[in-house]
Structure formats: structure tokens, C-alpha cells
Amino acid sequence: MLKATHDVTQSSWGGGISPFAVGWNKLMMWLFIITDGLLFAGFLASYGFARLSSSQWPDQLEVFHLWFIALMTFILISSSATMATAVRGAERGHRATVLRFLLLTIVGGLVFLGMQAYEWTTLIREGARLYSNPWGVPQFTGYFFLTTGFHGSHVFTGVLILSITAVRWKKGLSSAEGVELTGLYWHFVDLVWVFIFTLFYLI
Amino acid sequence: MASTVQQEPVTHRKQGFIRRYIFSTDHKIIGIQYFLTGMVMAVIAGFLAMLIRLQLAWPGEKWEFLGALFPAGMEDGIMKPEFYLSLVTMHGTLMVFFVVSFALVSGFGNYLIPLQIGARDMAFPFLNMLSYWVVVPACIIMLVSFLVEGGAAASGWTAYPPLSAVKEAIPGSQWGQTLWLLAMALFIVSFTMGGLNFVTTVLNLRAAGMSMRRLPLMVWTLFIAAVLGLLAFPALTAAAVMLLFDRHFDTSFFLPSGLFFGNKLLPNEGGTPLLWQHLFWFLGHPEVYVLVLPALGAAFDILPCFTRKPIFGYRITIYSLYAIGFLSMIVWGHHMFVSGMNPYVGEFFSIGTMAITVPFAVVGVNLIASLWGGAIRLTSPMLFAVGVIALVGTGGLGGIFLGNPTADIQLHDTYFVVGHFHFMIGGVTLFGIFAGTYYWFPKMFGRLMNEKLGKLHFWLTLLPFYAVFFGQHFQGLGGTPRRYYSFTKFTFLESLQGLNLFISISAFVLGAAQLIFLLNFFWSLIKGAKAGDNPWRATTLEWAVPSPPPHGNWGEKLPVVYRWPYEYSLEGAPEDYTPQTVSPEEGQVTT
């Protein structure tokens, strides 16, 4: 039942050390991302359930302005790139780079939110509601507003966290790992958008 | 490259009363807070159960004093049908989420994990404190919902729509249901914070030498329970958000077209209540294992101590736990056999359910084999641990009936189901909690609980428990439907009236027996015999520290672990137990 003791303590699972070579902050962030991802999976699976059981579905090309959404998506993905640059800068201790790219990421997030607000306004002016819409299937806008709204709230939270990180970094309170954790969350939010973009707008 | 875990020795700064006992970040205090909160909720939820049995035994009887207590639900002391449904709903919700989850998972989990793995605290003490103070408002909201107009939620602990989604469907679906959803949302937030903490702590903060293969099974089961919770709860969060939208923003996620309520056609179209059932049971089924596994873990920790021999099949138990955890995520459909399901899908869920019995039987057999040839001492914790084995066996056998769609069509929504799940998430968990309390009480409070009262409590719990819930199996086989507030109007149930009354009276005995436990608990807290560090002469790490353990648990130096957790009656060792911290130089090594 027992291995010789030195075998156990030498192994990365033997206790006293972190088996994944990460601190508990980062480990917990990863675990949180998994559960939060499953929350979106719950919404998206429900959406799929509703869409498959519906006999018809509106043609997205008639409802959405796809070029506009593509631009939104491009901006959000670009903000992931600026975030990655900020994280790399933090690892190398480039203080100014980090701050500049964190600000760029914040701008990207805000532009995305603004564009989403504009898109929602347009749809609502055309008569789209949570419970009805001019395109025939009420479930369509119900799930659309629910899921994109939930994602939007995540982007908003992300912008808040980015701002806090930026302020803390400027004051010298934030470590490189702090920036990295913010980055993990931000990449996660972007990745979720890729799924939403594909499932709601493209197919 | 592995990074070392930084665990600074805790500075023993004097803390005020509030920081130390109320807004505490110490895992031990938080564990006890959860435990005591669970105890308060258990008294309330148990009282609701007594009211349920009172109504079923003598439906329509007038109870003046209860009329004064519940002026709306029991006008003139006679129970209204909708109040009965609120009672059933709240009894289930409180027991599952606010009693067993609190006491067993969060209570023992917070208290024991850092002690048993040799850590100073949880990975994130502040998050831990937050997780407790988020569920306090959840408890209050749940209880306050009895006072709002229409009373507490009445759609069952499963909150199936349309009953839960349409406000005019039933009085409890007004504000009661909204408050229920809000409280559940807070509970999930808290449980997620707790789960993140548990998993991270077990992975990262184990003391040197405490490999995963040396963890006590209590930690293993809590770890797997936390992982299951993290994977399963998001589905319920999504469902709860959507149900709130259906209730307050007129969406129809769970409401189909052509729904009539009170001769009024509802405007909803396109949704399906089946979606809720899928999302709910995707959580609901793993949740059963979240609650049951730690009870088994407690039994595994207690048995070797009172048989003075190692447990049987440590490694295969861990593999079985993996298998149970995995399978529990893919069998939720067996709760929905009669909800309208393609027979092939039903077959898939049925096979999965049958497959779960294999690792579960392995765990059960390991528990029984752990008794074999041991020097058994039937102390109170041991009695309850053996009780866990009995209940797992009995409850598990009922599950085989229900996991089979053909049998389930007959048994669904009868008292057979009620009896079955009370054995599992009622009995196994409760006996696990009691076993754990009698066993770890000396560590928590430094005093032993009274043995005589403990034994009396055991027998007065076990016998009525079987009388109530085994009896309910027969009621169910006779076709008694669940959630009816009176059975007297049905001629086909007449022959079961005697059994029904017997169950109610047994339930009152069962309820009264718990007062012995409360008495014992609080009496021992003040007057119990001093326990010392290791009163049971047990091997695991928590017994290597003083009782109760100081802030920071380990003083200057963290412990080093040299052996597995169940080293009893080792040949050539000076004592019949060898703690995990004894190095090979000091004692014998096993191979």
C-alpha cells in the first residue's frame, strides 16, 4: 500500500507542492472559468434544445447586420491580443507597456459594449422583445437577449476588473500574476463570444 | 517544474470577538458556523416534516395551537391543501440544500479538509467567510417566504414548471416561488465559492508526503463531491435565471403554447417544461452524490478506528468514487422516464443507472469487508457508521427498481420514490452527519459526547427510520401517490390506512428522538468529559493537534506525512495505531 517515502515526496502529487505547478490563485481562476463556462453551456444547450424542437427559425441574415457583428467580434478578439501583450509585458516587468495595453483592452471592451447596445437598440426599435418579435418565433429573441445579455454583463464585469487591475498596477499594488489572472478571465469572455457568435449569428 | 506552496506560519495576533467568531476567516469556525446553521435549519425542516405527517395521519383535523402559529396556512387550525404543498416543498428544499449540504459538505468539509491534509487553512479564507455570509441571507429569505402573500413556494423541491412559472397557478407560485429562486441563487453562489476552495485546497495545500493516495477517504469523498458540485450547479443557475425570466419578464422558456389556467389562455408559446426537468436533474442527480459520498467517507474514516484494523480496498474505493462521480453526471434522465421520452433514450439512462450500482456495490462491500475480523467496539459513532452501511444497502436496492423504466412507470410519483430517496439523501446523509458529529465532536469542542445518550439516540433513530421509510416503500407498491394532502378519499387505499397511521406515529418518534441528540450536543458542550488530543486513538492528521485546534492548526511547523491514513494494528508497532506523522525510523513501515 505504501511506496517508500522518498518516492512520494519527490512526486509532484506527493504533497507540499502544487501538482500543476501553479499557485492556488491561478488554479482557482481556472476552476472558476470551468464552472462559469458550464453556465454558458447551460444557456447554449437550452437554446439548442429550443431551436431543434422548433419547426421554424428566423433567417439570421434578415435580422442581423452581419458585417456589424463581424466588426464587433473583430474588436473583441483584438482586445484579447492587447490583453496578451499586457500579460507578457507584466511578466517582463515593462510597467508602461502593461498600462498602455490594459487601457487599450478596456477601450476594446467598451467599444464592444457600445456596439452591442446599439445593436440591441436597433432590434428593439424593430419590435423585438423578450417575449415576441416580428420574425415569428418568440423563443428566438428570448434566448438571444438572455444569452447576449448575460455575456454582455460578463464583458462589463471584465472591464471593471481590468480597470481595477490598471489602477492597482499603476500604484504598484498588482503583481504580474494579478494581470495574468485578469487576462485569463478576459480571454474566457472572448472565447464564449466566439461560441455565441457562431451559434446565434452564423448557423 | 513544480512550485512550492507558500504557507506562512500564522501570526497569533489577538482578534476581537467579532473577527474571531462571527466574521471569522478561520476554517474551523466557518465549519462550525455551517454546522450550527444546518442544525437550526434541520430543526425547522424536521418540524415541517412533523406537520406533514400530522396532516396525513388525521387529515382535516383541527389543531388550535397550529392555527395560531400559521394563521394563513392553517386557518382555524385546519391545514389548507396549498399549505401542505408549501410544507412538502420547503421540507425538501431545506433538508437537501440547507441542512445536509450545510452540515455534511460545508460543515465537515471546512472543518476537516485543512486538518486532514495538513494545511493551515483553506486556500482562500476570505472567500470561505464570504461563502458563509452569502448563505445566511439565503436562509432568511427561504424562511421569510412563509410570511409573504400566498405563502412559501409550493411546486416541490424540484420546482417543475408550469406550476412554478405561472404566478396564478397556485398561491405559493406568487412571491414565494420568486423568493425560493433568489435564495437558491444565493445558495449556488455560496456553494460555488466553497467548492472552488475545497478543490483548490485539496490539490494544492496538502502537507509534504500527503499524496493523493494517502488522503483519508473523508477528504476524497468531499473532494469528489466538490468537483461534482462545480460541474453540476451551473445548469441549475442557468435554469433558475430562465425561470425568473419566465415569471417576471413574460418569456416562455419553460411554457408551452396553449396553456390554460383558470379558463384563461396564457399568451406563451414555444417553450417546454421538459427543458427545466433536464436542467434541474442535470444538477439534481449529481447533487444526490454530493450529499451521499461524504457520508460514506465519514463511515470509511470511522470504521477502522473502532475495528482497529485497516479498511478494506482503499484504492479500489477511490476508483469506484471516480466511476460513481462520472456516471452520476450522465444518468439524470432516470428521473424523467414518465415525462415523455424516446424509449431508446430511456434505455440509455437506464443502463447508466444500472452501471452505477456496480461501483456503488464495490464501495458497500468494502465497507462491510472493513468490519471483517476487526475488534469491533460499538460506540455511538461506530453504530451510526454501521447504520450508514445498512441504509446504503436498503436504499440502493430500491434504486434498482426505480432505475428500470418498466418498473418506474408503475412506481413513479408514489411513496416508493419517497421512501427510496429518504433512505439515500435522508438516511445515509443524516446517519453520516451523526456518525461524524459523535466522532469529531471531541476535536471540535474538546469534550466527549455522552455515550449512553448516543446509543439511545441511535436505536431510537434507526428503528423508527426503517418503520417510516421502509413502510413507505409498501405504501408506494400499493399505489399511494406522493404529494397528495389526504388519502382518505380513495377506496383503493383503504387497506393501507393502518400502515399510514403507523408511519406517522413512527415519524413522531423519529422526530422526538432527535431531541435526545440536541440535548446530548449542548449538554456535552458544557459538561462533557474532557477529550484530550486523540480520544479514539486514531491515525489521521486531525488527531495530531490539540482539541480544539489552535488558529493556524499546526504551530510553527507543518506536519510531514509518512504513511496512509488507516495504519491500525501494525505488526511490531508500539501501539495498535500508527499516526500518519510517524516516520519509518520511529515505527514500522508497511510495504
Whole-complex ipTM: 0.92
Asked whether the beta carbons of residue B239 and residue A31 sit closer than 8 angstroms, the reply is no
Distance from CA of A127 to the nearest CA of B (A): 15
Nearest to A39 among B201, B208, B234 (CB): B234
- Give pLDDT, residue B270: 86
pLDDT band at A7 (very low <50, low <70, confident <90, very high): low
- Considering only CB atoms, which chain B residues are within 8 Å of A17? 2-5
Q: Within this chain, do residues B497 and B563 fall inside the same structural domain, yes or no?
A: no
Query: Is residue A1 very low, low, confident or very high in pLDDT (cuts 50, 70, 90)?
Result: very low
Residues B275 and B63: their CA atoms lie apart, in Å, by: 41
| 10-residue mean pLDDT series, chain B (591 residues) | 47 71 91 97 97 94 90 89 95 96 96 96 94 96 93 93 90 92 95 95 93 94 96 95 94 91 86 94 94 97 95 95 95 92 90 94 96 94 97 93 92 95 95 97 95 97 97 94 88 92 97 97 94 93 93 88 92 88 71 41
Cα–Cα nearest to B69, from B96, B50, B56: B50
Q: How many domains does chain B have?
A: 3
Domain end: B205, B234, B253, which one? Answer: B253
Q: Is residue B7 part of a domain?
A: no
pLDDT band at A8 (very low <50, low <70, confident <90, very high): low
Q: Does B257 touch chain A (CB under 8 A)?
A: no
Please judge whether A142 and B1 are an interchain contact, meaning their C-beta atoms are less than 8 angstroms apart: no
B231 part of a folded domain: yes
Answer for the pair B394, B423: CB distance below 8 angstroms, yes or no.
yes
Q: Which domain holds residue B473?
A: 292-529
Whether cis (ω within 30° of 0) applies to the bond prior to B405 is: no
Residue B241 located in a structural domain? yes
Beta-carbon separation of B3 and A17 below 8 A: yes
Asked if B491 and B583 sit in the same domain, the reply is no
Nearest to A27 among B203, B271, B272 (CB): B203
In a domain, B56, yes or no: yes
Q: Residue B41: which CATH number?
A: 1.20.210.10
Residue B50 sits in the same domain as residue B187: yes
Angle (CA) B327-B328-B332 rounded to 5° is: 115
Q: What is the pLDDT of residue A86?
A: 95
Confidence of residue A15 (pLDDT cuts 50, 70, 90): confident
**Cβ contact (<8 Å) for B279 and A46?**
yes
Give the Cα separation of B353 and B376 in Å (integer).
34
CA distance B563 to B579: 8
B331 and B405 co-located in one domain? yes
Of A18, A26, A21, A24, residue with least CA distance to A179: A26
CB of B583 less than 8 A from some CB of A: yes
- pLDDT, averaged across chain A: 91
Position A6 confidence tier, pLDDT thresholds 50, 70, 90: low
The nearest CA of chain B is from the CA of A17 a distance in Å of: 4
User: Distance between CA atoms of B274 and B579, rounded to whole angstroms?
Assistant: 52
Nearest to B588 by CA among B566, B567, B573: B573
Contact B4 A18 (CB under 8 A): yes
Question: Could you say which residues from 117 to 146 on chain B have a Cβ atom under 8 Å away from some Cβ of chain A?
Answer: 117-118, 123-124
Mutate to test the interface with A, among B166, B191, B196 (most CBs of A within 10 A): B196
Res. A3: pLDDT tops 70: no
- Whether residue B515 lies inside any domain: the answer is yes
d(CA B40, CA B147): 19
| CATH T-level fold of A24-54+63-202 | Four Helix Bundle (Hemerythrin (Met), subunit A) (1.20.120)
- Answer whether B235 sits within 8 Å of A21, measured CB to CB: no
Does any domain span residue B270? no
| A126-151 pLDDT per residue, tens | 999 999 899 988 899 999 999 999 99
CA distances from A129 to A38, A68, A85, B249, B584 (A): 26, 21, 40, 10, 71
Same domain membership, residue B513 and residue B456? yes
Judgement on whether residues B470 and B578 belong to the same structural domain of the protein: no
Instruction: Please indicate if any CB of chain A lies within 8 Å of the CB of B497.
Output: no
Claim to verify: residue B53 and residue B183 sit in the same structural domain: yes
Please indicate, yes or no, if residue B243 is contained in any of the structural domains. yes
Residue of A nearest to B278 (CA): A46
Write out residues 155-214 of B within 8 Å (CB-CB) of A: 192, 195-197, 199-201, 203-212, 214
Q: Phi, psi at residue B502, to the nearest 5°?
A: -60, -40
Q: Do B493 and B538 have their domain in common?
A: no
Let me know whether B469 and B344 are in one domain: yes
∠B533-B536-B539 over CA atoms, to 5°? Answer: 80
Hey, is the C-beta of A16 within 8 angstroms of any chain B C-beta? Answer: yes
Q: Pick from B253, B284, B301: which residue ends a domain?
A: B253
Chain A residues in contact with B279 (beta carbon < 8 A): 42, 46
Q: B519 and B379 in one domain?
A: yes
* C-alpha–C-alpha distance, residues B93 and B87, integer Å: 10
Any domain includes B72 = yes
Pair B249, B119 in one domain? yes
Half-sphere exposure at residue A114, Cβ-oriented, CA atoms within 13 angstroms: 8
Long-range contacts of B494-497 (CB under 8 A, 24+ apart): none
Residue B238: its chain A contacts at CB < 8 A?
39, 42-43, 46
- B268 to chain A: closest CA residue: A131
The reply to whether B202 and B300 lie within a common domain is no
Question: What residues in B contact A43, CB-CB < 8 Å?
Answer: 238, 242
Q: Cβ A24–B204 below 8 Å, yes or no?
A: yes
Measured in angstroms, the CA of A104 and the nearest CA of chain B are apart by 31
* Residue among B556, B531, B529, B554 nearest B544 (CA): B554
H helix or E strand, kind and range, residue B235: helix B217-248
Higher pLDDT, A17 or B562: B562
The confidence score (pLDDT) of residue B347 equals 92
